[in-house]
Structure 1
Amino acid sequence: MIQESFHKEKRNNKTVTLECDLSITGGGTAGVCAAITAARQGTKVVLIQDRPVLGGNASSEVRLWILGATSHMGNNNRWSREGGVMDEILVENLYRNPEGNAVIFDTVLLEKVLNEKNITLLLNTSVYDVTKTSDTQIESVKAFNSQNSTEYIVKAPLFCDASGDGIVAFKAGAAFRMGAESKEEFGELFAPDKSYGELLGHSMYFYSKNTDKPVKFKAPEFALKDIKQIPRYKAIGKDDKGCRFWWFEYGGRMDTIHDTEHIKYELWKVIYGVWDYIKNSGAFEDVDNMTLEWVGTIPGKRESRRFEGLYMMKQQDVIEQKTFDDAIAHGGWAIDLHPADGVYSNLSACTQWHSKGVYQIPYRSFVSKDIDNLFLAGRIISATHVAFGSTRVMATTGFCAQAVGMAAAICTEKQLKPADILNNNEIKNLQNKLNIEGQSIPDIPINAETNLLNEATVEASSELQLAQIPFDGKWFPLQISAAQLLPLKANEKYQFKVAVKAEKATTLHVELRTSEKSKNYTPEVVLETQTFNLEAGEQTITISFSNGMPQNQYGFVTFLSNESVSLKTSKKRYSGILSVFNGVNKAVSNNGKQVPPPNIGVDEFEFWTPHRRPEGENIAMAIEPAIQAFNSENLGNGYVRPWGQVNAWVANLNDEKPTLKVTWQAAKEISEIKLFLDPDYDHPLESTLMGHPEEVVPFMLKNYVIKDLEGNTLQTVKGNYQAINTLKFNEPLKLKGFIIEAEHPSKDVPATIFEILCR
């Protein structure tokens, strides 16, 4: 029993003081990825989240799917899904939760954090104040947990604000912005005017389900009465749910921090009014047995404060794909701005303009220019309103925050401040450490000097020579233009034989295309066009191009649409090989071609995008000379995904026991062998609602054995589904080499390894 007598003075809450190396405020994708990355480097982290679950907008409280550079497979950014911890989380979720249950995704995030012994997690805990030792130095943050009535004081030499609204940076006095910059300030031609609005609003969603008996619905008094107040009401579908209603948005003309509760009530008004319309208007059939299963209780926020760092990203950095010496990640979502009136606007619910490829993101945008020991992460990083339209999405924020976690680990180890990373070659150290964990910073490979594999001889039992994509698939109707994306050699004159079926005598136009930039996958350059007169029926055509690639890069063997023609496809799939189509994906404003209005600083170009499995088979063809881009020499080049070239060793499917042998002239002390495998970086892996066709991507090397040269087994792996596999020895082993014995993932997909890291 606890009993206390009357106190004349006020009582104080229980107070707990925690000390750590890095205090992170905010448990969305950014905070989670930063915390895990830092913790795995030995950094003591306190992760403070003001909600009962992790994930922020991706959590079961909001239920927005995680997306980034892959953009629903609706842009030209091939193999661009974010790597490292962000990829690990999405691949784990695919394995456990291919149907996209947001509640299950909560558990995936929670497990990842709880598994890290260096993370102290505080859920339901809201940071409300900071203390400073000087104008530019934070000493601690103060937080309160209403569930256990406990106050926390968290002290650290380093702080990361990933809170969304930037409570730590705000309380610390850091410079910030809300709203849109003028065109003149940064020369951004797409900067919106006042009529469009300066802020993106909040959104809330609902889920519905069918039951086995009629369910009535009586709308609450506050529900929207006139559905025509929503200009897009005819776009409402009775079976739509969750973030398919992303356009249920409101608040862009309000204070998106302090007016959040008011915005929430307005969104509830919309949701219950929409459900009343679905159930009771008579406009929909077969809704009698439908009921509401879930309605969001907190809004998903898009935009509020953005804090000023050592560099502010702008529109030109995104569209022109600017490069940076301090690049730590890539982005690729469109510049995606929404009208401030949201669901009540007569304008398009969003305006998305894509770049021709991915763009680099600099470290400086994550370092506060005002507070010496403060990192910025998530949507509050240093970017203009226009650039923020691309950098704000969750896969990008989580991906970038990994750089914050790694930088904090370096700062902890070497007693540095965040800005010091830019000096004394530390940025290269940061980049390499990130890449070793799978970051794949564009144009920055793993440093060859840090990989002992580059001192070894690598022998493969076989190497794919792509002379044929077998003719064992379906017939694909050429109602839309299609292309086979292939890694071609500079100046080589290729010949392709394809099987076609014509319903009647007709003409087929075939083009060889490529990209202006060798690492892009926008085929805006037409190198050659050929025309074929087809007879009715099945036939083989031979395409002999007299022009070659200007350099080693991907080319597009392109078949222009003809409704009377079908192409034979193949069941075989290969890493770094894709078919793409000039189709439509309205989810990301892709109508087959981007045609911006004049003078907004955005390019006009066509979209050539893959189809999701099980569709999207490769186009069957014989290729002469055979493409020899899959050699074991790719191992050790520092790239862990396709980037301009395949960058992988791929075995021949006829090789029943694909094997790699690594040997050194003299024995080396090896503490770690790390394999970088293929998790299909082209597939978006939306975290919730969307659903996916498989639990393990078909390119993944699932089963393999690593042995020393004497035949002793070092590691046996069965049923792997993750991209990065690490064999770490308790004590370094002296090895003169090792052997990897692999199994093909399936009869239609050969064994593939992108990189082997030995150290």
Structure 2
Amino acid sequence: MLVQEFSQVTRGNKTITTQSDLVVVGGGLAGLCCAIAAARDGITVTLVQDRPVLGGNASSEVRLWTLGATSHMGNNNRWSREGGIIDEILVENMYRNKEGNTLIFDTILLEKVVSEKNITLLLNTSVYDVKKSDPNTISQVVAFCSQNSTTYELNADLFCDASGDGIVGFQAGAAFRMGAETVEEFGELFAPDIAYGELLGHTIYFYSKNVGAPVKYVAPEFALKDITKIPRYKVLNDKDFGCRLWWLEYGGRRDTIHESEDIKWELWKVVYGVWDYIKNSGEFPDAENLTLEWVGTIPGKRESRRFEGHYMIKQQDLVLQSQFDDAVSFGGWAVDLHPSDGVYDSKPGCTQYHSKGVYQIPMSTMISKNINNLFLGGRLISATHVAFGSTRVMATTALSGQAVGYGAAQCIKNKIKPAQLLEQNQIKELQQTLSLNGQSIPGIAIDKEANLLSSASISSSSTFKLDYLQANGKWFKLEIGVAQLLPLEAHTKYDYTFSFSAEKETTIQVDLRTSERLGSYTPDAILETKTLELQAGEQEISFSFDSVLTEKQYAFITFLPNELVSIRQSEQRATGLVSVFNAVNKAVNNLGKQTPPDNMGLDSFEFWIPQRRPNGQNFALTVSPAIELYSTENITNGFVRPYLGTNAWAASVSDANPKMTFEWNETKEIKNIKLFFDTDYDHAMESSLMGHPESVMPFCTRGYKISDQNGNVVYETKANHQTINTVELSESIKTNTLVVEFESSNSDIPVSVFEIFIS
């Protein structure tokens, strides 16, 4: 029993004072990935989250799906899903939760954080004060947990503000912006005017459920009564719920920080009014058995403060794919701006324009230019309003958060300030750390010299060479253009054969296309065009192009539409091979072709996009000479996803016991073996709402074992589903030989591996 007498002075909260190397404020995907990266690299981290769960807008409190450069597989960014920690999370979510239950996603995020011994996690804890040791240095942040009535004084050498609204940077006095820059300031021709608006608003979602019996609904008094105040109300239906209703947006004309509660109330008014309309208007008889299962209690925020770093990324950097010496991550979502009046605006809910490929994001956008120990994470990095329209999405912010985490660890280890990471020797070290952990910075490979495997003789039981893909799939009617994406060697002429079925005598046009920007996947350069003569019925047609590639890269064997013709598909799939279609994806403003207004600083081009499995088979073909896609040299070339080539070794499909053997001229001491597998970076892996066909990606190697020169098994697994496998041996081994034996689990998909790194 506790009894305390009256006190004439006010009592203070219980106070806990801590010291760590890094304090991360904000437990969204950016802050979470930052904390995990830093902790894994050996420094102590305090992660402060003001909500009861992690994930921010991806959590069960808001329920927005996680997306980034893949853009719902609706753009030309092939194999662009973000790597490293966010990939590990999304792949794990697919394995446990392919249906997209956000409650399960919550548990995966919590598990990832609490499993890191170097992280102290504080949930339900809000930072409200910042202390500085001098005008440019933060010494402490002060936070309060409402659930245990405890005040936390959190001291650290470094801080990362990933709070969304930027509470740490704001109170520390760091330079920031809110609203849209003018066209004149950065020359961004897509910069919006005041009529369109300078801020993106908030959204609250709802979930509905069929209970199998009629359910009545009486709306609360505060619900919107006149549905016609929502100009787009006619597109409402009884099937859509959750983040498919992202356009129920409001607040872009308000102060999205200090008036957030007012914005929330307006969104509740909208949501309950929309549900009243669906249930009681008589327009939706199928809604009779539906009940309102869930409504968000906090809004998903899009935009508030953006802080100024040592560089501010802008529209031109995205569209032109600017190259940065300090590149540490990438983006690829469309430049996605919304009218500030949101749901009450008659304009489309968003204006999205895509770039022709992924763009680099430099470290200099993630370091405050004023506060010398403050990193910027999440949506508040240094970007203009226009560029923010793309950099703000969660998988992109998670990738940048990972860069900050490893960068912070490097600062502690090397006893430097964040800005010193921008120096040439430091940024190269950071880029290598990130690359080795799956970040896949565009154009930057893992250093071969650091890989013991680079000095080994490498052999394999077999190597898959592409000379044919079996004609064992369905027929695809050429109502739209299609293309087979193939990595071709430079200065090589190939002969192709494809299978067609024609309803009557006709012709079909085939193009050899490449991308004007090397490493991109927009087929905007037509090297040669041929017209093929087809007879009625099924037939194989052979052809070749006189034009050859001047550089090794992906090319498109492109067939233009002809509704009289069908092309045969193949059930065979393989790492780095994909078919694409000149198709529409309205969810990301893809109507088959992007044609922006003149003088907007945006590109016009066609969209050639993949189909989601179980569709999207390759096209049956033969090719001569066989394309050398999967050389054993690929596993030490430093690239861990397709780029210019497959960058993978793959065994022959007929190889029942594929293996690789590594032999050195002298004995090597080995402690770590890291393997990079193919979990299909072309698959978007939306984290919620949208179901997916598989728990494990079909290209991913499930089972393998590693043996030394004496045949001793040093590691074995039969249930892998992850991209990166880090085998850290309990004791170093000394050997001059390693053998990796893989299990083949699918007769239509060869075993493959991108990279093996041994140290």
Task: State TM-score, norm by structure 2.
Answer: 0.99
User: How far apart are the structure 2 equivalents of 1:424 and 1:678?
Assistant: 32
Corresponding residue for residue 412 of structure 1: 412
Verify the 8 A CA contact 1:132 1:138 in the aligned structure 2.
yes
The one-letter amino acid of 1:431's match is Q
After TM superposition, give the deviation of residue 18 of structure 1 in Å: 1.1
Q: What secondary structure is seen at the aligned counterpart in 1 of 2:558?
A: strand
The one-letter amino acid of 2:180's match is A
User: How far apart are the structure 2 equivalents of 1:326 and 1:220?
Assistant: 53
User: Does residue 434 of structure 1 match 2:442?
Assistant: no
The one-letter amino acid of 1:211's match is V
User: Does residue 228 of structure 1 match 2:228?
Assistant: yes
Corresponding residue for residue 339 of structure 1: 339
Verify the 8 A CA contact 2:130 2:142 in the aligned structure 1.
yes
User: Does residue 697 of structure 1 match 2:711?
Assistant: no
Q: What secondary structure is seen at the aligned counterpart in 2 of 1:20?
A: strand
After TM superposition, give the deviation of residue 446 of structure 1 in Å: 0.4
Q: What secondary structure is seen at the aligned counterpart in 1 of 2:636?
A: coil
The one-letter amino acid of 2:112's match is K
Corresponding residue for residue 172 of structure 2: 172
Match runs of 1:34-49 below 5 Å: 34-49=34-49
Q: What secondary structure is seen at the aligned counterpart in 2 of 1:371?
A: coil
Corresponding residue for residue 196 of structure 2: 196
Verify the 8 A CA contact 2:142 2:151 in the aligned structure 1.
yes
Verify the 8 A CA contact 1:699 1:745 in the aligned structure 2.
no
The one-letter amino acid of 1:524's match is D
Match runs of 1:142-181 below 5 Å: 142-181=142-181
Corresponding residue for residue 628 of structure 1: 628
Percent identity, aligned pairs only, is 61
Could you tell me which runs of 5 or more consecutive residues in structure 1 were left unpaired when the two chains were aligned. Answer: none
Verify the 8 A CA contact 2:657 2:743 in the aligned structure 1.
yes
The one-letter amino acid of 2:125's match is T
After TM superposition, give the deviation of residue 708 of structure 1 in Å: 0.7
User: Does residue 326 of structure 1 match 2:326?
Assistant: yes
Verify the 8 A CA contact 2:699 2:752 in the aligned structure 1.
yes
The one-letter amino acid of 2:603's match is D
Verify the 8 A CA contact 2:452 2:757 in the aligned structure 1.
yes
After superposition, give the CA deviation of every residue in 1:396-440 in whole Å (9 maximum; x if it has no partner): 000111010001111111211101112260110000011111111
Verify the 8 A CA contact 1:700 1:745 in the aligned structure 2.
no
User: Does residue 355 of structure 1 match 2:355?
Assistant: yes
Mean CA deviation greater in 149-158 or 420-429: 420-429
After superposition, give the CA deviation of every residue in 1:244-270 in whole Å (9 maximum; x if it has no partner): 000010000110000101110111111
Mean CA deviation greater in 727-736 or 74-83: 727-736
Q: What secondary structure is seen at the aligned counterpart in 1 of 2:539?
A: strand
Verify the 8 A CA contact 2:355 2:603 in the aligned structure 1.
yes
Corresponding residue for residue 600 of structure 2: 600
After superposition, give the CA deviation of every residue in 1:494-543 in whole Å (9 maximum; x if it has no partner): 11111111122222111111101120000001111111232221111112
The one-letter amino acid of 1:430's match is L
Q: What secondary structure is seen at the aligned counterpart in 2 of 1:94?
A: helix
User: How far apart are the structure 1 equivalents of 2:624 and 2:569?
Assistant: 18
User: How far apart are the structure 2 equivalents of 1:85 and 1:233?
Assistant: 40
Corresponding residue for residue 392 of structure 1: 392
User: How far apart are the structure 2 equivalents of 1:711 and 1:731?
Assistant: 17
User: Does residue 304 of structure 1 match 2:301?
Assistant: no
User: How far apart are the structure 2 equivalents of 1:587 and 1:287?
Assistant: 24
The one-letter amino acid of 2:709's match is L
The one-letter amino acid of 1:633's match is E
Corresponding residue for residue 377 of structure 1: 377
User: How far apart are the structure 2 equivalents of 1:669 and 1:532?
Assistant: 59
Instruction: Report how many aligned residue pairs link the two structures.
Output: 759
User: How far apart are the structure 2 equivalents of 1:147 and 1:204?
Assistant: 25
Verify the 8 A CA contact 2:654 2:747 in the aligned structure 1.
no
Corresponding residue for residue 254 of structure 2: 254
User: How far apart are the structure 1 equivalents of 2:658 and 2:285?
Assistant: 56
Corresponding residue for residue 681 of structure 1: 681
After TM superposition, give the deviation of residue 221 of structure 1 in Å: 1.1
Match runs of 1:616-695 below 5 Å: 616-695=616-695
Evaluate the alpha carbon distance shift between residue 533 and residue 285 of structure 1 in structure 2; reply closer, same or farther with a 3 A threshold. farther
User: How far apart are the structure 2 equivalents of 1:491 and 1:421?
Assistant: 41
Corresponding residue for residue 551 of structure 1: 551
Corresponding residue for residue 475 of structure 1: 475
User: How far apart are the structure 2 equivalents of 1:728 and 1:86?
Assistant: 21
After TM superposition, give the deviation of residue 731 of structure 1 in Å: 2.9
Match runs of 1:109-128 below 5 Å: 109-128=109-128
Corresponding residue for residue 446 of structure 2: 446
Verify the 8 A CA contact 1:698 1:745 in the aligned structure 2.
no
Could you tell me which runs of 5 or more consecutive residues in structure 2 were left unpaired when the two chains were aligned. Answer: none
Q: What secondary structure is seen at the aligned counterpart in 1 of 2:638?
A: coil
After superposition, give the CA deviation of every residue in 1:4-28 in whole Å (9 maximum; x if it has no partner): 1111000101111111010000000
Q: What secondary structure is seen at the aligned counterpart in 2 of 1:403?
A: helix
Task: State TM-score, norm by structure 1.
Answer: 0.99
- RMSD (CA atoms): 0.8
The one-letter amino acid of 1:636's match is T
User: How far apart are the structure 1 equivalents of 2:222 and 2:207?
Assistant: 19
Q: What secondary structure is seen at the aligned counterpart in 2 of 1:234?
A: helix
After TM superposition, give the deviation of residue 744 of structure 1 in Å: 2.1
Corresponding residue for residue 460 of structure 2: 460
Verify the 8 A CA contact 2:249 2:267 in the aligned structure 1.
yes
User: How far apart are the structure 1 equivalents of 2:479 and 2:725?
Assistant: 42
Corresponding residue for residue 282 of structure 2: 282
Mean CA deviation greater in 209-218 or 731-740: 731-740
User: How far apart are the structure 2 equivalents of 1:731 and 1:421?
Assistant: 33
After TM superposition, give the deviation of residue 688 of structure 1 in Å: 0.3
Corresponding residue for residue 538 of structure 2: 538
After superposition, give the CA deviation of every residue in 1:266-288 in whole Å (9 maximum; x if it has no partner): 11111111111111101112111
Q: What secondary structure is seen at the aligned counterpart in 1 of 2:454?
A: helix
The one-letter amino acid of 2:293's match is E
User: Does residue 272 of structure 1 match 2:272?
Assistant: yes
The one-letter amino acid of 1:295's match is V
User: How far apart are the structure 1 equivalents of 2:106 and 2:83?
Assistant: 20
After superposition, give the CA deviation of every residue in 1:66-98 in whole Å (9 maximum; x if it has no partner): 000000000000000000001000000000000
Poorly superposed stretches of 4+, deviation over 6 Å: none
Corresponding residue for residue 86 of structure 2: 86
User: How far apart are the structure 2 equivalents of 1:90 and 1:62?
Assistant: 17
Corresponding residue for residue 183 of structure 2: 183
Corresponding residue for residue 529 of structure 2: 529
After TM superposition, give the deviation of residue 743 of structure 1 in Å: 1.6
After TM superposition, give the deviation of residue 656 of structure 1 in Å: 1.4
Verify the 8 A CA contact 1:68 1:81 in the aligned structure 2.
yes
Corresponding residue for residue 569 of structure 2: 569
User: Does residue 72 of structure 1 match 2:85?
Assistant: no
Corresponding residue for residue 486 of structure 1: 486
After superposition, give the CA deviation of every residue in 1:609-639 in whole Å (9 maximum; x if it has no partner): 0000000000000111111121101111100
Mean CA deviation greater in 307-316 or 225-234: 225-234
Q: What secondary structure is seen at the aligned counterpart in 1 of 2:287?
A: coil
User: How far apart are the structure 2 equivalents of 1:656 and 1:731?
Assistant: 32
User: How far apart are the structure 1 equivalents of 2:431 and 2:544?
Assistant: 43
Verify the 8 A CA contact 1:62 1:298 in the aligned structure 2.
yes
Q: What secondary structure is seen at the aligned counterpart in 2 of 1:286?
A: helix
After superposition, give the CA deviation of every residue in 1:36-61 in whole Å (9 maximum; x if it has no partner): 00001111000000000000000000
User: How far apart are the structure 1 equivalents of 2:155 and 2:190?
Assistant: 42
The one-letter amino acid of 1:358's match is V
After TM superposition, give the deviation of residue 491 of structure 1 in Å: 2.0
Q: What secondary structure is seen at the aligned counterpart in 1 of 2:86?
A: helix
Q: What secondary structure is seen at the aligned counterpart in 1 of 2:727?
A: strand
Q: What secondary structure is seen at the aligned counterpart in 1 of 2:77?
A: coil
After superposition, give the CA deviation of every residue in 1:190-243 in whole Å (9 maximum; x if it has no partner): 000000000000001000010121100011111111111111111112110100
User: How far apart are the structure 1 equivalents of 2:478 and 2:111?
Assistant: 46
User: How far apart are the structure 2 equivalents of 1:132 and 1:544?
Assistant: 69
Verify the 8 A CA contact 2:330 2:360 in the aligned structure 1.
yes
Q: What secondary structure is seen at the aligned counterpart in 2 of 1:63?
A: coil
User: How far apart are the structure 1 equivalents of 2:561 and 2:424?
Assistant: 55
Corresponding residue for residue 744 of structure 1: 744
The one-letter amino acid of 1:478's match is L
After TM superposition, give the deviation of residue 492 of structure 1 in Å: 1.3
Q: What secondary structure is seen at the aligned counterpart in 2 of 1:343?
A: helix
